[in-house]
Amino acid sequence: FGEQPLRGRRVVVSAGPTYEDIDPVRFIGNRSSGRMGFAVAAAARDAGADVTLIAGPVSLPTPPGVNRVDVRSARQMHDAVLAATEGADIYIGAAAVGDYRPSETAGHKLKKAGGEPLRLELTENPDIIGALAALPRRPFLVGFAAETRDVAGYARDKLARKGLDMIAANEVGEGRGFEVADNALHLFWADGDVALPRVAKTELARQLLTHVAHRFLASQGL
Ligand code: PMT
């Protein structure tokens, strides 16, 4: 970034999975490694921003110069994101937030049900980016959409339904999106879109931040 387009701006990024505990030894999680979100945080820092990274349970080193807050569950991520985004300019939600959690977390390790099916009741988690979209003074909101089919259709739907400023859609599945070192994104906003072909997540994050900075500054009339 030549002239650091986000100098003096506050950017909050979420990354990684959430873990929803079933009992003291088991949880419901997902395949997110945090690589995409950590690369986004580093790219926002390089664009000149003051960056806070809200990280789910991942084993990645903190990008130098980035403030990191570690969380485990979707509800913890919700509270950490809402606190960190107060007065922030941009929120980029790269985390794969669990949509559901067990309605009850057992205090002791669950025992086998003696041959009977074991039923687990799930409760919906709060929608973090949705909560931000409902605020009267909200940051510029960039969501991600992880889809296994009809990526563009679902992404445009999420952009409108969640009231976002931009959405970064990726196709996930066997060897794509989650865990691996490279990725491709298709960005959508109200009156435009651009496809970013598959490259290393570090490079892709820099391309994403160029578009985010451009759209954000335009939204400010700059
Ligand atoms: O971590 P990696 O291994 O590098 O993989 C990267 C990735 C595939 C996880 C990443 O590129 C990605 O797509 N992240 C979003 C995954 C996701 O959960 O997408 P979604 O379509 O379920 O959610 C849509 C948006 O709503 C996301 O911005 C998500 O952060 C947000 N959301 C979802 C649920 C919820 N309760 N609260 C939210 O804020």
* Three-state DSSP class for residue 186: strand
Position 113 scores a pLDDT of 85
* Model confidence pLDDT, tens digit, residues 154-176: 999 999 999 999 999 999 998 99
Q: 53-107, pLDDT tens digit by residue?
A: 999 999 999 999 999 999 999 999 999 999 999 999 999 999 999 999 999 999 9
User: Residue 167's pLDDT is what?
Assistant: 98
**2 falls in which pLDDT band (50, 70, 90)?**
confident
Q: What distance in angstroms lies between residue 166's CA and the mean position of ligand 1's atoms? A: 13
- With a Cβ cut-off of 6 Å, ligand 1 is lined by 14, 32-37, 74, 93-97, 99, 125, 127-129, 143-146, 158, 170, 172, 177-179
b/e for 52-70, b at 16 or more Cβ within 10 A? Answer: bbbbbbbebeebeebebbe
Tell the CATH topology of 10-102+121-219.
Answer: Rossmann fold (3.40.50)
As a whole number, mean pLDDT of residues 187-197 equals 97
Residue 181 has pLDDT above 90, yes or no: yes
pTM: 0.98
> Which ligand 1 atom sits nearest the alpha carbon of residue 142?
28
Phi-psi group of 48: left, alpha or beta (phi > 0 → left; psi -120 to 50 → alpha; rest → beta): left
Query: Which residue's C-alpha comes closest to atom 33 of ligand 1?
Result: 97
Confirm whether the ipTM is greater than 0.95.
yes
Dist. CA 211 → ligand 1 center (Å): 19
Kindly report the protein residue whose alpha carbon is nearest to atom 20 of ligand 1.
145
Residue extents of the structural domains in the chain: 10-102+121-219
Separation between Cα atoms, residue 143 and residue 154, nearest integer Å: 12
In the reported structure, the alpha carbon of residue 97 is separated from the centroid of ligand 1 by a whole-number distance in angstroms of 6
Which of 14, 32, 187, when mutated, tests ligand 1's pocket best, judged by the most ligand atoms within 8 Å of its CB?
32
Chain segment 12-64, per-residue pLDDT in tens: 999 999 999 999 999 999 999 999 999 999 999 999 999 999 999 999 999 99
Average pLDDT for the chain: 97
Contact 73, 20 (CB under 8 A): yes
Catalytic residue numbers, as ranges: 30
